[in-house]
Amino acid sequence: MKIGITGGIGSGKSTVTDYIIKRGYQVFDADKIAHEIEEPGGGVLLKLASVFGPEILAEDGSLDRKTMAAVVFSDDKKRKILNDITHREIHAIITEGLSHPETDPVFTDVPLLFESGFNKELDRVWLVTASEETRVKRVVARDGGTPEEVRARIRSQMSDEEKEKMADAVISNDCALEELYEKVDRLLDEANGKINK
Ligand code: ADP
């Protein structure tokens, strides 16, 4: 069974994913893969260099993030091309990984799961949610920034109500960590057929 984990910024998606890894399950992490493909020899770099020019590569052959950011800065068309190329590569790597799973269920952690349509490739989606107030507080504590900035980022994303309509399970994380882990344990038991829904 292929299960996607998603959730907006500050919902606790990474916390849930870390716990699932700790429970011994294989997780393909879209953010981690996004970083890996920017390393020297990363599959997508040649493509990016051919589209945007060799100056987007650093001397060691990795992606020169600063130059790349400058190239797409205030150019939405170029930014879209960059996103299309990298997202396609990330999805290809996840799809390949999910087709040779080492555990059952196998998981993937994708921030913009519904927005990208990747949910269609999965058997189930678990959505992590928390109230806006909780998310703002946690993100400010984690990353710094002002509550207004975090609120603006939250509101620029698809709303939890929209996502809940498409999710198979909602893990609400306005609770203590212990309770969060219990909710995940229960879903894992369900997925393993230990208890009926
Ligand atoms: P996301 O990956 O969705 O952006 P994180 O999992 O990184 O969110 O959680 C945001 C912050 O809140 C992190 O610092 C995390 O440790 C903390 N956090 C997450 N869930 C809880 C919880 N139930 N209780 C207390 N702190 C939490």
How many angstroms separate the alpha carbon of residue 10 from the centre of ligand 1? 6
- Could you tell me if residue 18 is inside a domain? yes
Write the DSSP assignment of 169-194 as a string of letters.
EEEE-SS-HHHHHHHHHHHHHHHTTS
Domain boundary among 76, 100, 124: 100
- Could you tell me if residue 137 is inside a domain? yes
The answer to whether the peptide bond before residue 40 is cis (omega within 30 degrees of 0) is: no
Domain boundary among 46, 81, 100: 100
pTM for this predicted structure: 0.91
Ligand 1 neighbours by CB, cut-off 6 Å? 7, 9-15, 138, 142, 173, 175-177, 180
Residue whose CA is at the smallest distance from ligand 1 atom 21 = 177
Beta strand ranges found along 90-190 (DSSP E): 106-109, 124-129, 169-172
What is the count of structural domains for the chain? 2
pLDDT tens series, the chain, 197 aa = 999 999 999 999 999 999 999 999 999 999 999 999 989 988 799 999 999 999 999 999 999 999 999 999 989 999 999 999 999 999 999 999 999 999 999 999 998 999 999 999 999 999 999 999 999 999 999 999 999 999 999 999 999 999 999 999 999 999 999 999 999 999 999 999 876 65
Write the DSSP assignment of 53-75 as a string of letters.
-GGGB-TTSSB-HHHHHHHHTT-
C-alpha 56/C-alpha 77 separation (Å) is: 17
C-alpha 162/C-alpha 60 separation (Å) is: 43
Domain boundary among 40, 71, 100: 100
Structural domain of residue 58, as residue ranges? Answer: 31-100
> Residues 78, 118: one domain?
no
> Residues 45, 89: one domain?
yes
> Residues 3, 45: one domain?
no
> Residues 18, 43: one domain?
no
- Could you tell me if residue 184 is inside a domain? yes
Residue whose CA is at the smallest distance from ligand 1 atom 2 = 14
Residue whose CA is at the smallest distance from ligand 1 atom 9 = 12
Atom of ligand 1 nearest to the CA of 173: 23
- Could you tell me if residue 197 is inside a domain? no
